[in-house]
Structure 1
Amino acid sequence: MLRKEKPVQSESVFGKRRFDGENPERHESQSVFDSVKAFFRIAVPFWKTRESGLAWVMLVGIVALSALSIYLAKQFNDWYKGFWDYMQAYNLDGFIGMLWLFGFLATVHVCAVVYRRYIISAMEIRWRRWLTTDYIRRYTENGTFYRLQLTDQKTDNPDQRISEDLSQFVSLTVTIVISILTDLSMLVTFAIVLWGLSQAVTFPVMGYEISLPDGYLLYLAIIYAAFGTVFTFIIGRPLVLLNFRQQRYEADFRFSLVRLRENAESVAIYKGELEERKRFNSLFLDVVHNYVNLIVKTKQIGYFTLGYAQLAVIFPILISAPMYFAKIITLGSIMQINSAFGKVQDSLSTLIENFTSLAAWKAVIDRLSLFEKSIRAADSLPRIVPEKSGQELSLEHVRVTKPDGTLLIPDLGFTLPPGRSLLIKGHSGC
């Protein structure tokens, strides 16, 4: 048997190996462009099938309920002004009337949100069921599950790709896509509201005349959100790769434990406990080291995003307070500005709020993309078609190579009569 040297290798009695230097692409995520192409390649097929008919109906229902939520948010924004104006004017009847209105709006809002979540969950399970069935078919037909072991080892733990990654792909896709579309709709709605609340005005502050242009509140919201988005991307960019690696290391560690149970007899007979223990410790160290890096980077981005969110609570009040004290606007107007500014800022801050989810989403897409590439590579391997003739096992002019093309045997041929046995063996890892 020929043995190819690897930069870093840890061996197992049952031959499961891990090479840190063999395929560096296993550790790296794809470019954003490649991930986008992979997303459409994975997501689109289901929506072209007959089984997607009910899912399309559910999707329309989700869009309709999302639109209702946006409309209710606009009504709540108007409610803030009326409620606080009645409070400022000591109008008890108006105050009670606004409480009844709030109860009605809140009831409709709760029903819309709960039912939308229900429909989303129902649609997710239909999509996941179809994807899982499709991947299981592709993984098991034509011996692909076996032939994957003969390819370049890029796909680790196919069981996790099918059971866990497909589930995360569906849930993250639905959550993030709906969130982005809702935020865009909310942005348009409340950008109009915020523009209407920020007409050009001039007022005195500490002996100076301050002049503000039309739409100044909208401009400030855009600047504030753009600042936060840029810094979040700079600080949080490494999270994408760290999430990708964490999923892989966790899966490698879990799979090694399962393999020990499956090969318990072989390990016990060959006294391989020490080697297996070394392997477990090595794999778990990968989990720990990457997780430490992940939580450190999450802590850094958490400081910024939480501070950014806290400042967003008071920022619109600070910029509208001078006009209130100049008696240009009422307390109700401040509350309305605060609500509208918050909606616009939240909509513009989609990347900030969902950065961790986006990083996990991209990692899942990259893992599924590598899985698909490995399935295609397994299908492309040449197949020997045996011919049944007589009782002997006969090989003639067989050329044996590794999957990377390395020649092992140029011209193999032998005949094995009935009743005879043949054992092919080699060192673990060869």
Structure 2
Amino acid sequence: MFHSFFPQPKLFFASAAVWTLACIFFWYFVGIELSTNLGFPPLPESAQPVGAAFFIAPTNLLFYVFFILCSALFCCAWHVFAKDNPWKIWSVWGTAILVFITYFGVQMDVAINVWRGPFFNLLQDALAGKPGITDSNFYVLLGKFLEIGAVGVVVSTFNLFFLSHYVFRWRTAMNNFYMSKWEKLRHIEGASQRVQEDTMRFANILEGLGISLIGSVMTLIVFLPILSELSKYVTNIPIIGALPNSLVWLALIWSVLGTVLLALVGVKLPGLNFRNQRVEAAYRKELVYGEDHDDRAQPPTVRELFTNVRRNYYRMYFHYLYFNFARFGYGQVDAIFLYYVLVPTFVAHQITLGIWQQISTAFGQVSNSFQYLVSSWTTIIELLSIHKRLKAFEAAIDDEPLPAIDQHYLEREAGVVHVDG
């Protein structure tokens, strides 16, 4: 799954994580001071330029150069180290491009958050009847929003185009690798489906989860300082009282509670989804055999196989019942959590409408990033079930024992009576 595309995956991803952390620490402890000495100090959000000018602010341009330089050094090292890997252009350099595009997407969110402050403050003043506000004041700020949107359209279009090619290259690498081992794999249940469909789904799902994970990390890096700065407006938390960096701690604690909750109630679901793919594949394969052989797909056999399908679905429905109850319940409380926390701040008139919008956006970005597992749990369950199926291929290639459920299939094919499920 990974060796076919990435050079030495464990070492590659471990080195990428270490290099990323080293670059982050260097920027925050050395780079910011260096840029300040060069005359480009980081600006607070209230002083950031609004509109497309945000992306070409000197401090941001300096960070883009730093980001690209760090990525290029990492990719050049792996390009030389993985000289025999035929997919290194896509797996190494392509991944670096995706990381940069993801970071730029986070910058889009920051640019919009910067725009929210003056726009909603202007809206509050207009609704309160403050004199001197004209139509042009609104049109100018709406034009700034369109500038940000125009940049977003270009970046999003290129991102989707590049992602499509990246995912298909990864699928091609897996397909070529598995087909080169076909003689070892062809006897595994649903081998054709695992090569044709599971590789496609694995690449698509992992790409989505990977980009979401990178985006969550980038969002935390960018928005945590912003949320920390906005915490100065929130001096009183219900029950807790005063708390330094209150919004940051609340986002972290609330998100961890949701993650732990869904992890506990959803612990059985990956195995059930894997078994569901297994029993569906066994039923489908018997029907395919029945198209060409009179002695296959007989009513007793089909009835037994479909009974396995029905039993597993009913079991899944039961476990998803309480999982969805917990997931939807957490989502409903999450929708009003920030309002509850900020009630004392509202009553004390400590923030304007513009500041509220910026707090709401920044808290939502940080909270959603911390809630990566919460929002992605159902997709992760599907990915784990596909991973279990493809692991059977890995076992066959390495001449290791197959998982128990695949051994049951081979026993039945050999004439051993076994009722799955």
TM-score by length of 2: 0.70
Partner residue in 2 for 1:309:
331
Asked whether the equivalents of residues 203 and 326 of structure 1 are also in contact (C-alpha less than 8 Å), the reply is no
CA contact (8 A) 2:108 2:152 kept: yes
Q: 1:74 aligns with which of 110, 132, 137?
A: 110
Deviations 1:164-211 (A, max 9, x none): 111122112211111111101102221111110112765699xxx994
Q: Is the 8 A contact 2:274 2:385 kept in 1?
A: yes
Could you say which residue in structure 1 is the equivalent of 2:122? Answer: 86
Matches within 5 A, 1:15-414: 40-41=2-3, 44=6, 49-90=85-126, 91-92=133-134, 93-140=136-183, 144=184, 148=187, 155-199=188-232, 211-264=241-294, 267=295, 276-377=298-399
Deviation at 1:145, TM superposition (A): 5.4
Residue 119 of structure 1 aligns to a residue in which SS?
helix
Range with bigger deviation, 294-303 or 240-249: 294-303
Give the Å deviation of 1:235. 0.8
Range moving further from structure 2, 40-49 or 57-66: 40-49
Cα displacement string for residues 65-84 of structure 1 (whole angstroms, at most 9, x for unaligned residues):
21111111111112222111
Q: Secondary structure at the match of 2:232?
A: coil
How far apart are 1:95 and its partner, in Å? 2.4
Cα distance, 1:344–1:203 mapped onto 2, change above 3 Å: closer
What are the equivalent positions in structure 2 for 1:1-12 lying under 5 Å apart? none
- Structure 2 CA distance for aligned equivalents of residues 178 and 79 of structure 1: 26
Q: Rate the CA distance shift 1:428–1:183 in 2: closer, same or farther, 3 A.
A: closer
Structure 1 residues 56 and 204: alpha-carbon distance in aligned structure 2, compared to 1, 3 A threshold:
closer
Q: Percent identity over the alignment?
A: 25
Note if contact 2:7-2:88 (Cα within 8 Å) is conserved in structure 1: no
Amino acid at match of 1:321: V
Larger helix proportion of the pair = 2
- Output the amino acid matched with 1:82: P
Secondary structure at 1:248 match in 2: helix
Q: Which stretch shifts more, 293-302 or 248-257?
A: 293-302
CA contact (8 A) 2:234 2:342 kept: no
How many residue pairs match? The answer is 325
Q: Please report how far the alpha carbon of residue 310 of structure 1 lies from its aligned counterpart in structure 2 after TM superposition.
A: 3.2
Higher normalized strand content (fraction of residues): 1
Contact 1:82 1:332 in 2 (8 A): yes
The question of whether the paired residues in 2 share the 8 Å contact of 1:157 and 1:255 is answered with yes
Q: How big is the shift at 1:349? A: 0.5
Aligned 8 A contact 1:221 1:345 in 2: yes
* 8 A contact 2:5–2:173 mirrored in 1: no
Larger RCO, structures 1/2 (Cα 8 Å, 6+ apart): 1
Contact 1:46 1:131 in 2 (8 A): no
Unpaired segments ≥5 residues, structure 2? 10-81, 127-132, 402-406, 408-413
Q: Whole-Å Cα distance in 1 between the matches of residues 166 and 203 of structure 2? A: 9
How much does 1:120 deviate? 0.9
Are the counterparts in 2 of residues 190 and 344 from structure 1 also a CA contact under 8 Å? Answer: yes
8 Å contact from structure 1 (residues 317, 334) kept in 2: no
Name the residue aligned to 1:394. Answer: none
Measure the CA separation in 2 of the matches of 1:42 and 1:368: 13
Q: Using the TM superposition, give the Cα deviation of residue 64 of structure 1 relative to its aligned residue in structure 2, in angstroms.
A: 2.0
Alpha-carbon distance change, 321 to 97 in structure 1, aligned in 2, over 3 angstroms: farther
Counterparts in 2 of 1:372 and 1:187: CA distance versus 1, 3 Å: same
* Separation of aligned partners in 1, 2:152 and 2:237: 41
Counterpart Cα distance in 1 of 2:348 and 2:212? 39
Aligned in 2, Cα 1:304/1:95: closer, same or farther, shift over 3 Å?
farther
Q: Which runs of 4+ in 1 moved over 4 A?
A: 39-43, 45-48, 200-205, 427-430
Q: What's the secondary structure of 1:124's corresponding residue? A: helix
Compute the displacement of 1:226 (Å): 0.9
1:106 aligned partner, one-letter code: G
Q: 1:59 to 1:145 in 2, by over 3 A?
A: closer
| Amino acid aligned to 1:256 | E
**CA-atom RMSD in angstroms:** 2.8
Identify the range of structure 1 (249-258 vs 95-104) with the bigger mean alpha-carbon deviation. Answer: 95-104
